[in-house]
Amino acid sequence: MRRFFNTIFISFGTFLLVFCWFYYYTQVVSLSAVVGMVTATLIALLTYIVFGRENRKSHNIENVKKIDRLKTYLALNECTGLVADIMDINGYIVTRYDCYLLAKKEEIVLLVMIDFNFAPLTDVKMAEYIKLMRHLKCSTLVVFCNQCDASAHVLARTTGIDYRIMDGQKVYELLIKYDICPPVDSARKYKRASAFLSLALSKSRFGYYLTSAIFIAIFSLFSFLPYYNLAIATILFALALYSKFNTRFNSASSAQDLFS
């Protein structure tokens, strides 16, 4: 809905500015209205498409950043308790050991291995886990890791065991689903511009600039200084578009934790 209304306001502002500029230069209302409507329609279509792409792109990029920060957190911290909580929420009775967890539910016994490292899980590690699984006579092997190499999957399928790989993407989805997200500070420090520019050109100023541009453009129709007012309205309209679509002053640097 916000995408729709933003498109309407931008196209309306475009129509007003184009109409006023053409009218003051040609003094022909009909020509100015037609040019304004055509331009506004084209801008509306373009804006609607750009808004859609922007939303999808920003959502995907932000998710990738969150998952990367989560992987870093998991690799650098002791996460046995977090994994035990996930299993407990799913109805398993968890028993902790030095190097692994056993999760039981009725006749099901899971061997849960925690392998959150910067390097992917390989067939070498998987072979060790399969030996331990068979020694403990568990029904299923579950490995929590940041990422998994294809060789680990090949080995597990070759041996015919029942196994599950919970990589960083799946762990992220579980943390969101169960609302047990750890407070992870962003590892990346963003270089910000001055506080004034960050505020003046951020997305939050879009509505102020656009509304001001529309009112000043309307006021120019009755003003003794129409060109002066139209010049200001045009500058404000340009600032509105820049503040809405620029990435320099609309970064996610203000995020205080992983899932903000």
Q: Is pLDDT of 141 > 90?
A: yes
Q: Is pLDDT of 14 > 90?
A: no
CA distances from 41 to 35, 140, 195 (A): 10, 59, 36
Q: Is pLDDT of 212 > 50?
A: yes
Helix (H) or strand (E) segment spanning residue 101: strand 101-105
Range of the domain at 97: 78-178
252 within a domain of the structure (yes/no): no
- pTM score, whole prediction: 0.53
- Domain check: are 84 and 70 in the same one? no
Chain-centroid distance of CA 131 in Å reads: 40
- Domain check: are 69 and 193 in the same one? yes
Q: Is pLDDT of 26 > 60?
A: yes
* Per-residue pLDDT, 259: 28
Count of domains observed in the chain: 2
- Domain check: are 161 and 191 in the same one? no
Q: Which residues, in sequence order, are CB contacts of 195 under 8 Å at separation 6+?
A: none
132 within a domain of the structure (yes/no): yes
Q: Is pLDDT of 154 > 50?
A: yes
> Are residues 83 and 72 in contact, defined by beta-carbon separation less than 8 angstroms?
no
Question: Looking at residues 238-243, what average pLDDT do you find?
Answer: 81
Measured distance CA(238)–CA(200) in Å, rounded: 13
194 within a domain of the structure (yes/no): yes
- Domain check: are 151 and 93 in the same one? yes
DSSP single-letter state for residue 189: P
250 within a domain of the structure (yes/no): no
Better-predicted residue by pLDDT, 228 or 140? 140
Tell me which range, 34-43, 50-59, 76-85, 238-247, is most confidently predicted by mean pLDDT.
Answer: 76-85
| DSSP assignments along 116-135, one per residue | --SSPB-HHHHHHHHHHHHH
